[in-house]
């Protein structure tokens, strides 16, 4: 059995809305019938817009939320029946800065959670030193967390998830509100963890992050997984590039660009961008037209579809709407 197996996991939240006189029950399907598995040394990226159900899924896996239906296994232990064993095998980072005690120092926070993870006391100190060093917090270890910056808190939260050196790691938006440098640090650490054979799930809003890090990407929308494959395979599915970029001189000679299939045209200095439904079909006609008008073409690019294109194609939504 793979270290992380998810079978038809479903979560329905029941809400009561309205005022005290007329309360109506309302059901929210946060996660529906989700199944997948993740192997050793593999990263699964969960990509989805706000409210798609990513956090709910992660919280079910770490036993904070009880599933309505379905089951999952961490290292073979059932999340509904063997919660303690599951927690022993998990390192979890939930979103944000609130996961830490602000009235304790960075080191005290890690010491506290080390004890709660039953770390061997002889190992605790060196483990904490190592993690503080790794995340660049060593010289601020004795500062109260309330005096940390947001980025420092998030890095400490990340360190906390690694404390028990668990085989399965869950990261919910690990790079949210980090600057590019810290994000790069976290990403490279996640890659190292993967190379050490850890099983990793990470959720993100950043396409590039999902693209760079994930061995498999699951696109989740309204609680359902709508696609699950390697990033490159997903991109192949959207095989039409939708932009043609042409570099050259003499664009000012064009009064109009009126070819069937062109949706929009942008041009600045020596770069012309043409948007279309199907660039491969348009390209020959476009070139013929341009050359006929005396434009000197020096370079042509058909940019690869990005994960974002895949996402829009599959969900009809951009990531942030």
Ligand X SMILES: Nc1ncnc2c1ncn2[C@@H]1O[C@H](COP(=O)(O)OP(=O)(O)OP(=O)(O)O)[C@@H](O)[C@H]1O
Q: Would you tell me which residues interact with ligand X (CB under 6 A)?
A: 13, 15, 28, 30, 48, 50-56
Q: Contact letters (x/-) for another protein, 4-43, by CB under 8 A?
A: ---------xx-----------------------------
Backbone angles phi, psi at 286, to 5 degrees: -65, -45
User: Residue 102 interacts with another protein (CB under 8 A)?
Assistant: yes
Q: Contact letters (x/-) for another protein, 53-92, by CB under 8 A?
A: ---x--x--xxxxx-----------------xx-xx-x-x
Residue 64 Cβ vs Mg ion, minimum distance, rounded to whole Å: 13
Which 3 state secondary structure label does DSSP give 271? strand
Of 115 and 236, which CB lies nearer to another protein in the complex structure?
A: 115
Q: Which residue, chain included where needed, has tokens 């109009």?
A: 256
Residue 39 Cβ vs ligand X, minimum distance, rounded to whole Å: 24
Q: Contact letters (x/-) for another protein, 123-152, by CB under 8 A?
A: ---------------------x--------
CA-wise closest residue to 150 among 179, 187, 170: 179
Residue 242 Cβ vs another protein, minimum distance, rounded to whole Å: 39
With CB under 8 A as the contact rule, the residue among 100, 193, 225, 310 that binds another protein is 100
Point out which span in 38-46, 115-123, 209-217, 271-279 binds another protein (CB under 8 A): 115-123
32/12 Cα distance (integer angstroms): 8
By the 8 A CB rule, do 4 and 37 touch? Answer: yes
Alpha-helical regions (H) of the chain: 54-61, 83-88, 106-116, 121-134, 150-162, 180-195, 207-213, 231-237, 279-292, 307-315
H or E element: which one contains 13? strand 4-17
Residue 257 Cβ vs another protein, minimum distance, rounded to whole Å: 53
239/166 Cα distance (integer angstroms): 39
297/18 Cα distance (integer angstroms): 63
By the 8 A CB rule, do 9 and 73 touch? Answer: no
User: Residue 101 interacts with another protein (CB under 8 A)?
Assistant: yes
Of 15 and 236, which CB lies nearer to ligand X in the complex structure?
A: 15
By the 8 A CB rule, do 35 and 7 touch? Answer: yes
Residue 48 interacts with, from another protein, Mg ion, ligand X, none (CB under 5-8 Å by kind) = ligand X
Joined tokens for residue 128 = 């904490």
Joined tokens for residue 16 = 């009561």
Interface contacts to another protein, rule CB under 8 A: 13-14, 56, 59, 62-66, 84-85, 87-88, 90, 92, 94, 96, 98-104, 108, 111-113, 115-118, 121, 144, 160
């Amino acid at each position: 059995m793979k270290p992380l197996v998810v079978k038809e996991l479903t979560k329905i939240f029941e809400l009561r809305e309205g005022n005290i006189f007329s309360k109506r029950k309302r059901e929210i399907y946060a996660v529906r019938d989700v199944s997948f598995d993740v192997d050793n040394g593999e990263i699964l990226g969960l990509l989805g817009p706000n409210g798609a159900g990513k956090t709910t899924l992660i919280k079910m896996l770490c036993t904070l939320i009880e599933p309505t239906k379905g089951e999952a296994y961490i290292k073979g232990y059932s999340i509904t029946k063997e919660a303690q064993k599951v927690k022993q095998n998990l390192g979890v980072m939930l979103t944000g800065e609130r996961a830490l005690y602000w009235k304790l120092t960075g080191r005290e926070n890690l010491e506290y959670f080390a004890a709660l993870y039953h770390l061997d006391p002889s190992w605790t100190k060196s483990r904490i030193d190592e993690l503080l060093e790794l995340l660049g917090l060593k010289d601020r270890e004795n500062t109260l967390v309330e005096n940390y910056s947001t980025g420092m808190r998030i890095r400490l939260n990340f360190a906390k998830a690694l404390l028990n050196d668990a085989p399965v790691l869950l990261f919910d938006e690990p790079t949210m509100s980090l600057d590019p440098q810290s994000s790069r640090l976290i990403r490279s650490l996640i890659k190292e963890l993967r190379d050490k054979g850890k099983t990793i799930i990470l959720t993100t809003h950043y396409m590039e992050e999902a693209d760079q890090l994930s061995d498999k990407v699951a696109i989740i929308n309204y609680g359902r997984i709508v696609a699950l494959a390697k990033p490159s395979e997903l991109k192949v599915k959207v095989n039409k590039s939708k932009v043609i970029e042409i570099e050259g001189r003499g664009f000012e000679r064009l009064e109009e660009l009126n070819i069937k299939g062109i949706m929009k045209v942008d041009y600045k200095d020596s770069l012309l961008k043409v948007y279309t439904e199907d660039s491969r079909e348009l390209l020959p006609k476009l070139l013929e037209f341009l050359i006929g008008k005396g434009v000197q073409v020096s370079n042509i690019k058909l940019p690869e579809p990005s994960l974002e294109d895949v996402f829009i194609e599959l969900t009809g939504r951009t990531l942030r709407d």
